[in-house]
Structure formats: C-alpha cells, structure tokens
Amino acid sequence: MVNSKTYKTNVLFNTISPNLSGGFAVGSANGDIRLYKTMGQIAKSHLPGLGEAIKSIDVSLDGNWLLATCQTYLLVLQTTTDDGVSGYEKSISKTKP
C-alpha cells in the first residue's frame, strides 16, 4: 500500500530530493520548499518562496543543507536550527533556517 497526501489546492510540486534518513525536500513552481519526514504525512517545514520557480533541488549527504536552483539565483538553506532541530523532524518555518 502506498502512502499519499492529497492537497485541497494544486501546490505545483515540480522537483524532489531525498536525504539519507528517509526524509525528502520538495520544490514547487511558485518557489515554495517543503520538508517531509516520511511519505504520506504533511510537511514538517514550509519555507515560502521568493517568487521564482524551483528548477532543481538537492540535499547534502547529512541532510543539514539544501541547494535550490531558480532561473536567476541559487538558494542555499540550512535545514537545521542552531540548537540542532532538523526541519525534517520539526517545523523550522517560524524560525529563520
């Protein structure tokens, strides 16, 4: 059986990258990035975009960094807080990653 999550609106997902612990990051056409712990659950962290579509996304081997490519810029985001909380495990959306 496949776990899945259905959204009420079209979230425009267009790129995905897994990490070694089973989580994954998803980029969207509206520039948002979501961090998931496992399939079938809601995103643990939602990082709003800057307006451009995420063309490609990659996660570092340790899962602590995320690189997102847009048309005119690159985003390099830390996915953990200063106290070691992972954005894949707990929301870091309200704090600056």
Q: Which domains does the chain have, with CATH numbers?
A: 13-78 (2.40.10)
Name which of 37, 35, 45 is nearest 3 in CA terms. Answer: 37
Range from 1-15, 55-69, 72-86 carrying the lowest mean pLDDT: 1-15
Residue 74, pLDDT above cutoff 70 = yes
Q: Is 26 left (phi over 0), alpha (psi -120 to 50) or beta?
A: beta
- Phi, psi for residue 50 in degrees, rounded to 5: -105, 10
Q: Is the sign of the CA dihedral 38, 42, 43, 44 positive or negative? A: negative
Residue 82 vs residue 24, higher pLDDT: 24
User: How much is the average pLDDT of 66-88?
Assistant: 88
